[in-house]
Structure 1
């Protein structure tokens, strides 16, 4: 919501589904409502003055900018288009005496619009690796600057005239940014940034590009979790992004206390993914790291792991385990756009790399279709792909529906059918029938940011889909109807990964902690 003045009256402008409303704050009654042909997000609503007329601007989920005359309640001009995907941030300002709007999108770009004549003064400002979530303006070194922040954890300064980036990005301590406010104090341009993360609020000197106050010591977030049964006990094993230590390690699923599960003391840092399985009745863990290596670990601290197994170029984003042709295998997915299989007994590569994704592969699982094992993978190209592990060939055409990266994949059975669940940058969870490759029902919507974790499991005697995202919520869904089950559970930080420990308990990695949640009716 925003406040402004219309006909000398203070008003409140609010965005609602299919409607823009203007309220008279003195009389506490609506002035008028504008019906919209699309939904706009209240977080991308801003007000300005164009040639003396008060206007409201808002971005929609199709990448367009709408501008309305607040006096008459009518559109001021045609749609302003350019973003590829939803508009996720919007502010208005005056530059060189002209009213402008700054928009940021899920496509990672920042765009500048002249509201007086609907021109785009230049091309998109490109630099963020992911969604742009916050925008502001400031005067730095005597000239106007655009300040932007995003889910990549960076703050970037731009010259609005040339479109060039000013200096190197500021790296925040908290990760994904959600807000930026700029002020001038004693002639110095400052920026407050707000984020999900241990540091939370940070203060920056934009002239020196340095933090005004040191950020709190950062604890690396837990990025990977898996569950296993070792010596009859249920354990959770997880790792953070640190290259110096494993961080989380093995914990008792019931108490959360550290335990001697896998050979924890030998784990290297930089692990991005972990999965567990069994070989001849013995528990093993498979890890993928930032250096592109896969390793297979047992529970005997005196026995070295199998690996590092080389093959990927760039980081390994995801690993999974399953059985193919009577052999226990691990699947790995990496930055190089390939999916690879490894024999859990001897660590040898199994078959040829599976290629087809047009960018990094960020999710992988093994499931069943047509009575045989299939590998399901999701990637930055927004597709879910099924592979025949026996031949390394595509099992069928790519499954398309997500807009943006697929962050997570899970497989399981719903209503007697083998299905895959996928979670993506577009904030949706989708189900796919592995038998025919068709979408199963409607997308599950509710998250307000990328969905980064998904699992299929059982709770209360029924199959459920669990999802977690950048918005810090854990949500349960009925896969038969696509409807949410109960209210979401709100955690303090974004959720990176999920793992079931039992039929009615799930563990979520949120920030630097792993939180066990009991699922009740």
Structure 2
């Protein structure tokens, strides 16, 4: 799927009018929507990212449902955090606070029965936004010493949390109800943490993180300990996501060599052959179902969005089942 004029840095999934779509954000300062059933664009590009500073690249995207409507929250090189109605392609209200600086990462969750966005910024802060009231909730969550490049959300012991990765090489967990960091940072990465995704591993919540030296780590969010050994068979990691095939969890990692590789997080073994096709860094990856079949959608520096059918991997993979 082509149309972006520059590399694709972010991807998210949604369902619009009963059809699965991919949403892509690019260095070309646009957001595009793609119908995963036929691979065609849905409407024209969403434009309007030029903000208070020169760059308007779209670094990060996340989808949610607000007042019954599917929306996407986008931000990046400009000082604008914008929300778009995916059914109409129009802005939802005015951009969120323009004075906070550039947003590197965003994830969504539900807090007190209301949809919220959790954003990471170049100033090292994590911010929480009420997507209905369109306002920041409380003061920023701080403790970072460098850019927050990755944000993911999960539920631990019944409480919503945000997990963030930073250029300071740490992973931190934040209780979104009490608005405070829980425990000490998860340390072990030797380079900036660029990607994060949450999942359930062996029945317990976990986060998968990837860094610039090619290492992927799995952490138990309840135990706050590494779950197994690091996965170290990649060049620079650009994106991580997870999928469930049958009853088996897999981790998918996009990297600087243009490949997407699949791993069993319990055994630490690679599954099958790499998915090859991108030319250059894979910056975005997300999973969904198309016609009942599991797929991973990837976006890369080569300006393309690609869809990969994971159906053939559903057969059991030999090894420890945990």
So what's the TM-score if we normalise by structure 2? 0.87
Contact 2:193–2:211 (8 Å) recurs in 1: yes
Give the corresponding residue for 2:274.
488
The structure in which a higher percent of residues are strand is 1
Task: Name the counterpart of 2:157.
Answer: 370
Structure 1: distance between partners of 2:170 and 2:204 = 21
Higher relative CO (CA 8 A, sep ≥ 6), structure 1 or 2?
A: 2
State the partner residue of 2:245. Answer: 459
The alpha carbon displacement at 1:402 in A equals: 0.6
8 Å CA contact 1:292–1:334 kept in 2: the answer is no
Distance 1:302 1:419, change over 3 A: closer
1:30-429 equivalence runs, <5 A = 219-243=5-29, 246=30, 249-260=32-43, 264-268=45-49, 269-299=56-86, 301=88, 304-310=91-97, 313-429=100-216
Computing the radius of gyration from Cα coordinates, the structure with the larger value is 1
Give the gaps of 5 or more residues in structure 1.
1-217
Give me the whole-angstrom Cα distance separating, in 1, the residues matched to 2:226 and 2:196: 14
- Alpha-carbon separation, structure 2, partners of 1:219 and 1:284: 23
**Residue 411 (structure 1) shift:** 0.6
Cα pair distance change 1:434/1:306, threshold 3 Å: farther
Unmatched runs of 5 consecutive residues or more in structure 2: 50-55, 314-322
SS class of match (1:443): coil
TM-superposed deviation, 1:420: 0.4
Please state how far the C-alpha of 1:472 moved relative to its aligned partner. 1.2
CA distance 1:311–1:482, change in 2 (3 Å)? farther
Q: Check 1:311–1:265 CA distance in 2 against 1; reply closer, same or farther (3 A cut).
A: closer
Write the deviation string for residues 107-148 of structure 1: whole angstroms up to 9, x where unpaired: xxxxxxxxxxxxxxxxxxxxxxxxxxxxxxxxxxxxxxxxxx
**In the aligned structure 1, how far is the partner of 2:93 from the partner of 2:39?**
28
1:514 matched to 2:297? The reply is no
For 1:326 and 1:251, how far apart are their aligned partners in 2? 29
RMSD of Structure 2 on Structure 1 (CA): 1.9
- Runs of 4+ in structure 1 displaced over 6 angstroms? none
> 1:267: how far off?
4.3
Give the TM-score of the pair, scaled to structure 1: 0.55
| Deviation (angstroms), 1:305 | 2.0
Helix, strand or coil at the partner of 2:231: strand
Q: In 1, are the aligned partners of 2:17 and 2:87 still within 8 Å (CA)?
A: no
- Cα distance between partner residues in 2 of 1:389 and 1:337: 17
Q: Which residue of 1 aligns with 2:320?
A: none
